[in-house]
Amino acid sequence: MASSEVARHMVYQSLVGIKATCVTSQPCKEERITDEDPRSLTITGHVGFESLPDQLVNRTLQQGFCFNILCVGETGIGKSTLIDTLFNTNFDHCGSSHFHPNVRLKAQTYELQESNVRLKLTIVNTVGFGDQINKEDSYRPIVDYIDAQFEAYLQEELKVKRSLFNYRDSRIHVCLYFIAPTGHSLKALDLLTMKHLDSRVNIIPVIAKADTLSKCDLQKFKLKLMNELVSNGIQFYQFPTDDETVAQLNSSMNGHLPFAVVGSTEEVKLGNKMVKARRYPWGIVQVENENHCDFVKLREMLICTNMEDLREQTHIRHYENYRRCKLEETGFKEVCPEKKPLSVLESQEIKRYDSFCELQRKEEEMKQLFVKRVKEKEAILKEAERELQAKFEHLKRLHQEERIKLEERRRNLEEEISALGKRKAACELKASL
Looking at CATH, the fold of the domain delimited by 59-261+293-330 is given as Rossmann fold (3.40.50)
Please state, in angstroms and rounded to a whole number, the distance separating the CA atoms of residues 401 and 134: 79
CA 402 to CA 397: how far, in whole Å?
Answer: 9
Domain boundaries, the chain: 59-261+293-330, 265-292
DSSP string, 203-267: EEEEETTGGGS-HHHHHHHHHHHHHHHHHTT---------STTTHHHHHHHHTTPSEE------E
Claim: this prediction has a pTM higher than 0.85: no
Q: How far is CA 118 from CA 11, 62, 113, 151, 304, in A?
A: 14, 8, 4, 26, 14
Q: What is the pLDDT along the chain (433 residues), one digit of tens a residue?
A: 445 555 555 544 554 343 333 333 344 444 454 556 678 888 888 888 888 888 888 888 888 889 999 999 888 888 888 998 998 888 876 666 667 778 888 898 998 888 888 889 999 999 888 887 777 788 899 999 999 999 999 988 888 887 777 788 899 999 999 999 988 888 888 999 999 998 999 999 999 988 888 889 999 999 999 999 999 999 999 998 888 888 889 888 988 889 999 988 888 888 788 888 888 888 888 888 888 888 999 999 998 889 999 999 999 999 999 998 888 777 666 655 565 666 656 666 777 788 888 899 999 999 999 999 999 999 999 999 999 999 999 999 999 999 999 999 999 999 999 999 888 888 988 888 7
Query: How far is residue 183 CA from its own chain's centroid?
Result: 32
* Amino acid letter, residue 126: T
- Backbone angles phi and psi of 172, in degrees to 5: -75, 125
CA-CA distance, 179 to 226, in Å (whole number)? 12
**Model pLDDT, residue 7:** 52
Residue 380: count of CB within 10 angstroms of its CB:
10
DSSP string, 274-301: EEEEEEETTEEEETT-TTT-SHHHHHII
Residues 82 and 20: their CA atoms lie apart, in Å, by: 45
